[in-house]
Amino acid sequence: MPVSKKDELISIIVPVYNMEKYLERCVKSILAQTYNRIEVILVDDGSTDNSPAMCDSYVLKDSRIRVVHKPNGGLSDARNAGLAVASGDYIGYVDSDDWIEPDMYERMYRACVENEAQLAVCRYACETDKDKTDKNDNEKMPESYAGINNDVIPLSRDELLKIYICGHDRFIIYNSAWSKLYRRDLVEGMLFPKGRNSEDIMYTTRAFCRLDKAVYVDKALYHYVLDRKDSIMNVARGERMFRDEIPFWREHIQCIRDMASEEMADLAAYYFWRRLLFYYMDMKKSGGENEKYACRLVDEIKSDKLEINRIYKSGIVSGGDKARMRLFMFSPLLYARTAGIYDNVVIPLRQHIKEG
């Protein structure tokens, strides 16, 4: 399908809560887009700093900007408020402490239209005060995708889901809403769960399960800021994990089972348990208060014993992962000690031999 003579409107939703330090950089990066047919919806989520006044000042500078002021309800509620007034044919999200490359939406929109895709996902750069990591910038393109033009790789629903679930050496397809451009009809009626964190997990999973075709834009077009001290991602990690993240990953598995296939859902369950084993080791290493979360993770994993036995007998589980799960089920403490030795002794030794 050729690009239409009249390019379609993209609504870019930006939740704002006490972001006076970062907001100018974010908004400037959006207004500098090479794709001009955009509306920028700044949602002031009850900010108590200078952010509301800054949002209002931007409206006077650029007619493409709209502002919604609302009582504080959290990130999900702010995004939903933006969705309620968005009039675009496509929907994008930018967090107000992040920024984007000038050609981000141009590239993603063109990729969607030229490939008749309902969603585009791009790579992103992780930013900290000290450095920047461009995700997989120098890695080799897999043979199966070699020779594809313009760094745009079409993906079917099942190809996209498998990369999303399992990870991939080349493609970075994270559950974030901000690294994607959604055709409006793909996400029609979908809302973010109010009052909870890790809200992107289910929004992304549902969108992926709904689509027929996506495109991966192999350029780091989004700049994601890591580890702000006041970020919600750094607050009460253990409680957030059990209240929000783990239930969302379980819902993610069920959604894939209902909307995609049993086989893909089993794969998602396998990677969910791998994730829980990683969380368990992370909590054990942290010690202190996190010991109680390590104990809760033991109960969480063992509650799935029957399903784990079924799936781990299938051909989708590696021999190493089968051995690790057997050891964990026998003795979580022995598993932690063995994994610790592997991480602290075996891996560094292998690296030393490789470098020598």
Looking at 232, 262, 277, which one is the last position of a domain? 232
Asked if residue 5 belongs to a domain, the reply is no
Q: Could you read off the pLDDT of 116-137 as tens digits, one per residue?
A: 999 999 999 998 755 555 554 4
Q: Could you read off the pLDDT of 9-54 as tens digits, one per residue?
A: 999 999 999 999 999 999 999 999 999 999 999 999 999 999 999 9
Looking at 232, 267, 290, which one is the last position of a domain? 232
Q: Contact at 8 Å (CB) between 31 and 62? A: yes
Asked if residue 259 belongs to a domain, the reply is yes
Judge whether residue 223 has pLDDT over 80.
yes
User: Do 57 and 183 have their domain in common?
Assistant: yes
- Portion of the chain with pLDDT greater than 90, in percent: 79
The candidate with the shortest Cα–Cα distance to 217, out of 130, 133, 124, is 124
The candidate with the shortest Cα–Cα distance to 303, out of 254, 260, 269, is 269
Looking at 181, 205, 232, which one is the last position of a domain? 232
Show Cβ contacts of residue 246 under 8 Å, excluding neighbours closer than 6 positions. Answer: 276, 300
- Work out whether strand 10-16 and strand 119-127 pair parallel, antiparallel, or are unpaired: unpaired
Domain of 348, in residue numbers: 236-355
User: Do 160 and 240 have their domain in common?
Assistant: no
Span 279-283, mean pLDDT? 94
Judge whether residue 328 has pLDDT over 50.
yes
User: Do 153 and 95 have their domain in common?
Assistant: yes
CA distance 57 to 65: 10
User: Do 198 and 84 have their domain in common?
Assistant: yes
Asked if residue 41 belongs to a domain, the reply is yes
CA distance 72 to 128: 27
Asked if residue 291 belongs to a domain, the reply is yes
CATH number of 37's domain: 3.90.550.10
Asked if residue 4 belongs to a domain, the reply is no
- Provide the 10 A C-beta neighbour count for residue 174: 17
Q: What is the mean pLDDT of the chain?
A: 89
CA distance 25 to 31: 10
Asked if residue 165 belongs to a domain, the reply is yes
Asked if residue 2 belongs to a domain, the reply is no
**pLDDT-derived band of residue 169, with 50, 70 and 90 as boundaries?**
confident
Question: How many structural domains is the chain composed of?
Answer: 2
